[in-house]
Amino acid sequence: MKIGEFAQLCHTNISLLHYYQKTGLLFPDYVDPFTGYRYYTSEQIPVFFRIRSLKQAGFELNEIKKMIAAQKIPLLSIFFVGSSHFVLTSSLSARS
């Protein structure tokens, strides 16, 4: 799917996807060599949301990039406090 469709499905904007590519965090599955159009797959949608969740949990992009490369993804736990507040905790899952 083209980058615009992927961005729409992920509720984000194209410029963020360009930035993630530039920083080496999330690459398009294919870039057309003639048009430069970027194409993503549906399998990349969960990866995008994992990146977004980790960013919202307070991790820096360089930390997220290292975790994804090492396949050490934090397990995020959300504990609801009251009706509208929550506490987010994380712990690294050690994979060998």
Alpha-carbon distances of 46 from 17, 34, 83, 86, 96, rounded to whole Å: 14, 28, 28, 23, 22
C-alpha dihedral sign at 32, 33, 36, 38: positive
pLDDT digits (tens, 9 = 90+) for 17-34: 999 999 999 999 999 999
Contact 6, 20 (CB under 8 A): no
Contact 17, 6 (CB under 8 A): yes
pLDDT digits (tens, 9 = 90+) for 79-94: 444 444 444 444 444 4
